[in-house]
């Protein structure tokens, strides 16, 4: 009887990490507090004047997020597609159409991902959850630049 109880407790202890809640990253977490305050304090956009591209050269990452694990909601912008139409590199962005329209979001609002195995994506306009470990690692290519990379564990549709 005691042996059964100990065995059951052992299995329960190993199951606890699997039951732990996954951290969900909020896109605003990826912006340092001082930069977020500046964005919130900006004047209203003048829609009658000439469009001015925002200057993101001073954009910085949140260093405390380096190594944090969780999931990030967002839209996938393919960067590299394999011969069999799978995505081997992509950006995760907070809203549909980001990086396609100019200018792209600031680098602290773009996350680069290169999963170990290319992923299939049937709905480019749909939102996804990207699970993995976030790293502060600048990345730049012809599409955009990013302050973050996520080591992809899995990608699943957002529901």
Residue 95 lies in a domain: yes
Does some domain include residue 12?
A: no
Task: Establish if 47 belongs to a structural domain.
Answer: no
CA dihedral 72→93→137→21, nearest 10 degrees, is 0
User: What is the count of structural domains for the chain?
Assistant: 1
Residue 84 lies in a domain: yes
Q: What average pLDDT score do residues 110-121 get? A: 95
Q: Which domain holds residue 119?
A: 59-157
Residue range 120-148, pLDDT digits in tens: 988 888 999 999 999 999 999 888 899 99
Query: With contact defined as beta carbons under 8 Å apart, do 40 and 86 qualify?
Result: no
Q: Is pLDDT of 37 > 80? A: yes
- Residue 52 has which token pair? 């001015």
Q: What CA–CA distance (Å, rounded) separates 144 from 13?
A: 44
Are 54 and 106 within 8 A, CB to CB? yes
82-107 pLDDT per residue, tens: 999 999 999 999 999 887 667 889 99
Whether residue 149 is contained in a domain is answered as yes
Q: Is this prediction's pTM over 0.85? A: no
Mean pLDDT to the nearest integer, 59-85: 96
Residue 136 has what pLDDT? 98
Stretch 35-51: mean pLDDT, rounded? 73
State the CATH number of the domain containing residue 78: 2.40.50.870
Residue 47's alpha-carbon distances to 53, 82, 104, in angstroms, are: 13, 41, 19
The C-alpha atoms of residue 24 and residue 120 are separated, in whole angstroms, by 23
For residue 133, tell me if it sits in a domain. Answer: yes
- Evaluate whether residue 102 is within a structural domain: yes
How would residue 9 be classed by pLDDT, with cut points 50, 70 and 90? very low
- Domain membership of residue 116 (yes or no) is yes
Share of the chain above pLDDT 70, in %: 79
Q: What is the pLDDT of residue 39?
A: 76
């Amino acid at each position: 009887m005691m042996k059964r109880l100990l065995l059951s407790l052992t299995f329960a202890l190993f199951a606890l990490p699997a039951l732990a809640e996954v951290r969900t990253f909020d896109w605003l977490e990826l912006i340092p507090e001082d930069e977020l305050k500046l964005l919130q304090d900006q004047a209203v956009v003048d829609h009658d004047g000439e469009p001015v591209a925002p200057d993101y050269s001073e954009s910085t990452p949140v260093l405390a997020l380096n190594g944090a694990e969780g999931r990030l909601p967002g839209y996938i912008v393919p960067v590299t597609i394999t011969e069999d139409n799978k995505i081997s590199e992509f950006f995760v962005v907070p809203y549909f159409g980001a990086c396609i329209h100019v200018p792209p979001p600031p680098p602290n609002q773009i996350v680069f991902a290169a999963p170990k195995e290319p992923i299939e994506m049937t709905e480019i306009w749909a939102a996804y959850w990207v699970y993995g470990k976030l790293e502060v690692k600048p990345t730049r290519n012809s599409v955009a630049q990013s302050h973050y990379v996520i080591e992809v564990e899995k990608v699943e549709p957002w529901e």
